Amino acid sequence: MTFTKLTALAMTTALTATAAFADGHVDRSDWPESFTVGTASQGGTYFAYGSGWANLVAEELGLSGGGEVTGGPMQNMALVHTGEAQFGMTTMGPAAESLNGTNPIAPGLQMTNACAMFPMYQTPFSVTALRSSGIESVADIPAGARIGFGPAGSTSDTYFPRMMEELGVEFERRNGGWSDLGGQLQDGLLDVIAFAAGVPVPAVSQLEVQTDVNIIEFTEEEQAQIMAAFPVSQFDIAADTYTTLEADARSVSMWNFAIANCELPASFVYAVVDVVMSDNERMVNIHRAARSTLPENYDKNTVMMWHPGAAQWFADNAGAMISDDMIHSDM
């Protein structure tokens, strides 16, 4: 891609924001008084990460804002597209489906008013079972196993059942928030939880404290099979992510991006991106997955149009080469 120019309106607004940040004065006359970030269920990484950066932005910009429990990436695309939430978080797969009009929340609606804002982290797909179950590999999962796939419409629920079917696993599908599913696993109401979430997943970390678990990796053959069938890439869950792991665990992953309603003022989105992206240490203190929330990862978005304010921030601060046809414009 080559960065040529933003539309005249977006360039003027964003450059004004750049200059304003230099002397501490920003024209906030068109900014919203408050904002909401669509996250996912409690106990998952989206909720911890999203609530964290929402609170950080609210504090730094002197606004009222926070994270909101949602059904995850698919619902977040819908909420941000309609403007019910100013911001949200999504994964590349659900984003592509939403833009193509195949989001199950609103079939046929192309959710083109949700724009990319900044890169978050990769979402690994991993499987967890109680050690007492004897399940140590995907092949060990018995036919008819009760598997929790997360909230309906989440990245997990959208892709993990298909992956299990691809690997020949027969299962009963269960949905719910990650904290609830973790409790059901511990109580013997589920056999397996199939997580698609940034690591460490809070619900898994909590399970490790309360009982013995197996964090199940894919074999090389299973990993290759999944990568051939789905829009995922190779990923290793580092051994120090969980106390249960003794070595890196083989997995696959999808990239996550923060999203903004495309009609939000460019100077506002520029300011929000600046708060999140200018100090990675603060973000890592919110959640370790933010180690990948780095400016150079802007190029991992190959699906969504960029918000003009976000595109300008990455051009100014990361040397981003974003083409005009990947930047949202009302003109």
SS (H, E, C) the chain: CCCCCCCHHHHHHHHHHHHHHHHCCCCCCCCCCEEEEECCCCCCHHHHHHHHHHHHHHHHHCCEEEEECCCCHHHHHHHHHHCCCCEEEEEHHHHHHHHCCCCCCCCCCCCCCEEEEEEEEEEEEEEEEEHHHCCCCHHHCCCCEEEECCCCCCHHHHHHHHHHHHCCCCEEEECCCHHHHHHHHHCCCCCEEEEECCCCCHHHHHHHHHCCEEEECCCHHHHHHHHHHCCCEEEEECHHHCCCCCCCEEEEEEEEEEEEECCCCHHHHHHHHHHHHCCHHHHHHHCHHHHHCCHHHHHHCCCCCECHHHHHHHHHHHCCCCCHHHECCCC
What residue has token string 């992953």? 253
Buried b (16+ CB within 10 A) or exposed e, 232-255: beebebeeebbebeeeebbbbbbb
User: In sequence order, what are the residues at sequence separation of 6 or more whose Cβ sits closer than 8 angstroms to the Cβ of residue 29?
Assistant: none
Q: What is the pLDDT along the chain (331 residues), one digit of tens a residue?
A: 333 333 333 343 444 444 444 345 779 999 999 999 999 988 888 999 999 999 999 999 999 999 999 999 999 999 999 999 999 999 999 999 999 999 999 999 999 999 999 999 998 999 999 999 999 999 999 999 999 999 887 889 989 999 999 999 999 999 998 889 999 999 999 999 998 888 888 889 999 999 999 999 999 999 999 999 988 889 999 999 999 999 999 999 999 999 999 999 999 999 999 999 999 999 999 999 999 999 999 999 989 999 999 999 999 999 999 999 999 997 5
Residue 87 CA neighbour count, 13 Å, CB half:
28
Which of 42, 49, 36 is CA-nearest to residue 291? 49
What's the confidence (pLDDT) of residue 321?
A: 93
**Which tokens is 110 given?**
């192309």
What's the confidence (pLDDT) of residue 24?
A: 56
What's the confidence (pLDDT) of residue 18?
A: 42
Which of 9, 18, 44, 321 is CA-nearest to residue 197? 44
User: In sequence order, what are the residues at sequence separation of 6 or more whose Cβ sits closer than 8 angstroms to the Cβ of residue 245?
Assistant: 215, 237, 238, 239
What's the confidence (pLDDT) of residue 43?
A: 84
User: In sequence order, what are the residues at sequence separation of 6 or more whose Cβ sits closer than 8 angstroms to the Cβ of residue 65?
Assistant: 34, 35, 36, 37, 54, 55, 57, 58
| Nearest-5° Cα angle at 191, 189 to 193 | 100
Pairing of strands 34-38, 87-91: parallel
Tell me the pTM.
Answer: 0.77
Residue 143 CA neighbour count, 13 Å, CB half:
1
What's the confidence (pLDDT) of residue 331?
A: 56
How far is the C-alpha of 50 from the C-alpha of 67, rounded, in Å? Answer: 6
| Nearest-5° Cα angle at 53, 49 to 57 | 170
What's the confidence (pLDDT) of residue 6?
A: 37
User: In sequence order, what are the residues at sequence separation of 6 or more whose Cβ sits closer than 8 angstroms to the Cβ of residue 221?
Assistant: none
